[in-house]
Amino acid sequence: MSLDRIKAGLRAQRIETPSWAYANSGTRFKVFPQPGVPRDPFEKVADAAVVHRLTGIAPTVSLHIPWDLVDDWTKLREFAQEQSVALGAINANVFQDEDYKLGSVTHPDPRVRRKATDHLLDCVDVMDATGSQDIKLWFSDGTNYPGQDDMRSRQDRLAEALAEVYRRLGGDQRMLLEYKLFEPAFYATDVPDWGTAYAHCLELGPKAQVVIDTGHHAPGTNIEFIVAFLLRQRKLGAFDFNSRFYADDDLMAGAADPFQLFRIMYEIVRGGALDPAYGITFMLDQCHNIEAKIPAILRSVLNIQEATAKALLVDRDVLGAAQQSGDVLAANAALMDAFNTDVRPMLAQLRADDGRDPDPIAAYHRSGYFERISADRTGGVQAGWGA
Ligand code: LRH
Ligand code: MN
Ligand code: MN
Average pLDDT value for residue range 32-41: 95
* Residue nearest atom 1 of ligand 1, based on CA coordinates: 138
Average pLDDT value for residue range 106-134: 98
Does 233 have pLDDT greater than 80?
yes
pLDDT category, 383, cuts 50, 70, 90?
confident
Cα of 185 vs centre of ligand 3, distance in Å, is: 13
Which of 24, 138, 181 has the most ligand 1 atoms within 8 A of CB, as the residue to mutate?
138
- Number of structural domains in the chain: 1
Question: 281 has which bridge partners?
Answer: 238
For residue 178 and ligand 1, the question of a CB distance below 6 A is answered with yes
pLDDT category, 384, cuts 50, 70, 90?
low
CATH number at 9 reads 3.20.20.150
* Structural domain containing residue 273: 3-376
For residue 285 and ligand 1, the question of a CB distance below 6 A is answered with yes
Does 201 have pLDDT greater than 80?
yes
Asked, for residue 307, whether it belongs to a domain, the answer is yes
> What is the number of alpha carbons within 13 Å of residue 62 lying toward its C-beta?
26
C-beta separation of 36 from 46 below 8 A: no
- DSSP, residue by residue, 285-330: ----SSS-HHHHHHHHHHHHHHHHHHHHHS-HHHHHHHHHTT-HHH
Asked, for residue 381, whether it belongs to a domain, the answer is no
Question: 275 has which bridge partners?
Answer: none
For residue 73 and ligand 1, the question of a CB distance below 6 A is answered with no
- Rounded to the nearest integer, the mean pLDDT of the chain is 97
Asked, for residue 382, whether it belongs to a domain, the answer is no
Q: What is the pLDDT of residue 387?
A: 36
Cβ partners under 8 Å of residue 27, min gap 6: 289, 386
Q: Please state at what angle helix 73-82 crosses helix 41-55, rounded to 10 degrees.
A: 20
Asked, for residue 117, whether it belongs to a domain, the answer is yes
The residue among 26, 35, 51, 40 whose CA lies nearest residue 250 is: 26
Ligand 1 atom with the shortest distance to the CA of 91: 10
Q: What is the pLDDT of residue 378?
A: 81
For 40-73, write each residue's pLDDT tens digit. Answer: 999 999 999 999 999 999 999 999 999 999 999 9
Asked, for residue 44, whether it belongs to a domain, the answer is yes
Asked, for residue 47, whether it belongs to a domain, the answer is yes
pLDDT category, 381, cuts 50, 70, 90?
confident
For residue 180 and ligand 1, the question of a CB distance below 6 A is answered with yes
For residue 267 and ligand 1, the question of a CB distance below 6 A is answered with no
Asked, for residue 239, whether it belongs to a domain, the answer is yes
The yes/no answer to whether this complex scores an ipTM above 0.90 is yes
Does 380 have pLDDT greater than 80?
no
Q: What is the pLDDT of residue 265?
A: 98
Asked, for residue 332, whether it belongs to a domain, the answer is yes
Task: Give φ, ψ of 171 to 5 degrees.
Answer: -55, -40
What percent of the chain stands above pLDDT 70? 99
* Residue nearest atom 3 of ligand 1, based on CA coordinates: 138
pTM of structure: 0.97
